[in-house]
């Protein structure tokens, strides 16, 4: 069974450009989470969905960030416009259900904003 | 106070040594606790859950102290392959949500 799939794996862009990160959760998993990891702040939860519905977006840093989950097998995280301080590794993770404990992470997207 | 706090390390230990990490959490309503392992430039992976009665998986032992609000991870007979960052995770479902709060991790280096 394939794990969580993320694309692209690496993204280098210039300040002001729009960035779209993509995630495909494990088939049958109903809960999806977006995280950001930096050396300074560690792993931070940005937003999570349950059954394609956003449940908690309190971790989204500002209006430049938006996330969607149009169906059970696809989610996007968009940054527009991007800034150098957005440089980080962005992870997507999924769980079979919110109340189930084990969470599986994708390989991450390493974003560099110049 | 941070919700989940860990000593960042690094802990440099020789092969075969026993090493222990602690992690403190601030929300007494927290229900579930985990240790994740993260290798350099990789994603975090579940190492083990932490149960109230404590649990053991081979060389790894996890314990929970609710009264003092900390969890611990003990690694016996360290191997070179244990070198990684260990993330303490608290599941906040006790507050009606299902958010994992991650500590910033403790780096372990096992030396030959």
pLDDT at A1: 65
pLDDT at B97 over 70: no
Please give the residue that has the higher pLDDT: either B28 or A107: A107
pLDDT at A95: 92
pLDDT at B94: 53
Sign of CA dihedral B74, A45, A77, A29: positive
pLDDT at A101: 74
Q: Does A99 touch chain B (CB under 8 A)?
A: yes
Share of chain B above pLDDT 70, in %: 95
Per residue in B19-39, pLDDT (tens digit) is: 999 999 988 877 789 999 999
CA A33 – CA A77 distance, rounded (Å) = 11
pLDDT at B105 over 80: yes
Chain B residues contacting A via beta carbons under 8 Å: 32, 34, 42-46, 49, 87, 91, 93, 97-105
Per residue in A54-82, pLDDT (tens digit) is: 998 999 988 999 999 999 999 999 999 99
pLDDT at A26: 95
Instruction: Tell if the CB–CB gap between B93 and A99 is shorter than 8 Å.
Output: yes
The CA distance from B91 to the nearest CA of chain A, in Å, is 8
Confidence of residue B3 (pLDDT cuts 50, 70, 90): confident
Mean pLDDT of B53-59: 92
pLDDT at A4: 97
pLDDT at A97: 79
The first and second tokens of residue A19, run together, are: 């960035």
pLDDT at B75: 97
Instruction: Tell if the CB–CB gap between A101 and B34 is shorter than 8 Å.
Output: yes
Compute CA B13 distance to the chain's CA centroid, rounded to the nearest angstrom: 17
pLDDT at A76: 98
Per residue in B62-89, pLDDT (tens digit) is: 999 999 999 999 999 999 999 999 999 9
CA B56 – CA B48 distance, rounded (Å) = 9
Pairing of strands B55-57, B60-65: antiparallel
Pairing of strands B4-6, B19-25: antiparallel
Pairing of strands B84-91, A31-38: unpaired
Per residue in A74-105, pLDDT (tens digit) is: 999 999 999 999 999 999 999 987 766 789 99
pLDDT at B96 over 70: no
Q: Which residue of A has its CA nearest to B85?
A: A42
pLDDT at B87: 96
CA A6 – CA A26 distance, rounded (Å) = 11
């Amino acid at each position: 069974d394939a794990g969580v799939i993320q694309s692209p794996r690496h993204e280098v862009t210039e300040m002001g450009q729009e960035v779209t990160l993509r995630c495909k959760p494990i088939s049958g998993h109903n809960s999806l989470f977006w995280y950001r990891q930096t050396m300074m702040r560690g792993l931070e939860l940005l937003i999570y969905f349950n059954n394609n519905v956003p449940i908690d977006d309190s971790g989204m840093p500002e209006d430049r960030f938006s996330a969607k989950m149009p169906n059970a097998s696809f989610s996007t995280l968009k940054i527009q416009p991007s800034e150098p301080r957005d440089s980080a590794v962005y992870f997507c993770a999924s769980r079979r259900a919110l109340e189930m404990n084990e969470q599986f992470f994708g390989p991450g997207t390493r974003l560099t904003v110049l | 106070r941070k919700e989940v706090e860990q000593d960042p390390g690094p802990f440099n230990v020789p092969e075969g040594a026993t090493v222990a990490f602690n992690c403190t959490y601030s929300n007494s309503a927290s229900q579930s606790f985990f240790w994740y392992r993260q290798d350099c430039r990789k994603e975090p992976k579940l190492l083990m859950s932490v149960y109230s009665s404590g649990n053991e998986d081979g060389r790894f032992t996890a314990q929970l102290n609710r009264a003092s609000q900390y969890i611990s991870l003990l690694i016996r007979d360290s191997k070179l392959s244990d070198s990684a960052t260990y993330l303490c995770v608290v599941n906040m479902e006790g507050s009606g949500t299902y958010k994992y709060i991650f500590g910033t991790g403790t780096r372990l280096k096992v030396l030959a």
